[in-house]
Chain A
Amino acid sequence: DAKTTQPNSMESNEEEPVHLPCNHSTISGTDYIHWYRQLPSQGPEYVIHGLTSNVNNRMASLAIAEDRKSSTLILHRATLRDAAVYYCSTYNTNAGKSTFGDGTTLTVKP
């Protein structure tokens, strides 16, 4: 299973963009890249996922490196509600299981 590596913490100012990086250098060709976020005392919540191409949804954008060994979650305008722990994971479609990194704690300053 592909291991993911993320920075322990990052800070951002409110209304500024945030780029959260993730390394997954051992990802297999069929594994998807998923991002989740977790608020205190809650379960992780899905944010976005992709395979090879960059992806956008209402919550965020996902930029995937051409060699798929890294990806970046982009929050275009951070709000105080975006303060959370963000997890990058690789998803094995055949088994329906994910391998998670240790997460990045995002602090958003007003």
Chain B
Amino acid sequence: NAGVTQTPKFQVLKTGQSMTLQCAQDMNHEYMSWYRQDPGMGLRLIHYSVGAGITDQGEVPNGYNVSRSTTEDFPLRLLSAAPSQTSVYFCASSHGGVGEKLFFGSGTQLSVL
């Protein structure tokens, strides 16, 4: 049972480059979300989705795009990478029921030079 799978685990970008962080879950969860975690800080919500075709902005959406064409996948796109986007990115999913817990991936460590 894979759960939530994130790729790549590590990535180094140059300022201005674009890339896509991949997230896939095999639990048939309706809800998916992306968080970023900076040193010594908690997780901040970037974007989230309550189902295929539906996305919304979280606390820190600037510089990121998402789409949800299938239930399983929720990719995060960096349009033009900036050093301020250096962070660890976590994808999470949940069943969507009342009080349901989040399942997290193992994270992508991104460095923007």
Let me know if B90 and A44 touch, CB within 8 A.
Answer: yes
Q: Does B99 contact A (CB under 8 A)?
A: yes
Q: Does B40 contact A (CB under 8 A)?
A: yes
Let me know if A46 and B101 touch, CB within 8 A.
Answer: yes
Let me know if A43 and B107 touch, CB within 8 A.
Answer: yes
Instruction: Output the nearest chain A residue to B109 by Cβ-Cβ distance.
Output: A41
Residue numbers of B with Cβ under 8 A of A are 4, 30-33, 35, 40-45, 48, 50, 56, 58-59, 90, 92, 94, 96-107
**B contact residues around A103 at 8 Å (CB):** 42
Q: State A69–B5 Cα separation when bound (angstroms).
A: 35
Could you give, for residues 42-72 of chain A, a 1 whenever the CB lies within 8 Å of some chain B CB and a 0 otherwise?
1111100101000000000000000000000
Instruction: Output the nearest chain B residue to A98 by Cβ-Cβ distance.
Output: B102
Instruction: Output the nearest chain A residue to B104 by Cβ-Cβ distance.
Output: A43
Chain A interface, number of residues (Cβ within 8 angstroms) = 24
**A contact residues around B102 at 8 Å (CB):** 34, 36, 44, 46, 91, 98
CB contact list, A7-61 vs B, under 8 A: 32, 34, 36, 41-46, 49, 51
Min C-beta distance of B67 to chain A, whole Å: 17
Let me know if B50 and A95 touch, CB within 8 A.
Answer: yes
Residue of A43, A49, A102 with most chain B CB atoms under a 10 A cut-off: A43
Q: State A100–B99 Cα separation when bound (angstroms).
A: 15
Residue numbers of A with Cβ under 8 A of B are 1, 32, 34, 36, 41-46, 49, 51, 87, 91, 93, 95-103
Let me know if A102 and B103 touch, CB within 8 A.
Answer: no
Let me know if A100 and B42 touch, CB within 8 A.
Answer: yes
Min C-beta distance of B104 to chain A, whole Å: 3
Question: Known: A43-B107, A96-B31, A96-B33. Contact between A87 and B94, CB under 8 A?
Answer: no
Let me know if A95 and B104 touch, CB within 8 A.
Answer: no
Let me know if A93 and B90 touch, CB within 8 A.
Answer: no
Let me know if B43 and A100 touch, CB within 8 A.
Answer: yes
Question: Known: A97-B58, A102-B41. Contact between A49 and B50, CB under 8 A?
Answer: no
Let me know if A97 and B41 touch, CB within 8 A.
Answer: no
